[in-house]
Copies of this chain bind each other. A is one copy, B any other.
Amino acid sequence: MPRSPVSRRLAEAAVALFGERGYDETTVDDIAARAGVSRSTFFRHYRSKEDVIFPDHDALLAKVDARLRASTADTAIVAVCDAVRIVLAHYVEDAEVSLRRYRLVGQVPALRDREIVSVARYQRLFREFAGDWLAGSPDAPLRAELMASSVVAAHNQVLRGWLRANGRHDPFAPLDRALEYVITTFRHLEKPRDAAEQVVVATFARSASPDAVMDAIRTHLEER
Contacts and interface: CB of A to CB of B under 8 A. Distances in A.
Interface string A178-203: 10011011111100000011111111
A153 to B, nearest CB: 4
A37 interface: no
Contact of A154 (B142, B205, B222): B142
A186 B117 CA distance: 27
A36 interface: no
B205 A203 contact: no
Contacts of A213: 199, 201
Interface stretch (A57-65, A93-101, A144-152): A144-152
A182 B142 CA distance: 10
A89 interface: no
6 contacts: A141-B157, A145-B153, A146-B153, A148-B153, A185-B185, A199-B213
Interface of A: 113, 116-117, 120, 139, 141-142, 145-146, 148-150, 152-154, 156-157, 161, 178, 181-182, 184-189, 196-205, 208, 212-213, 215-217, 220, 222-223
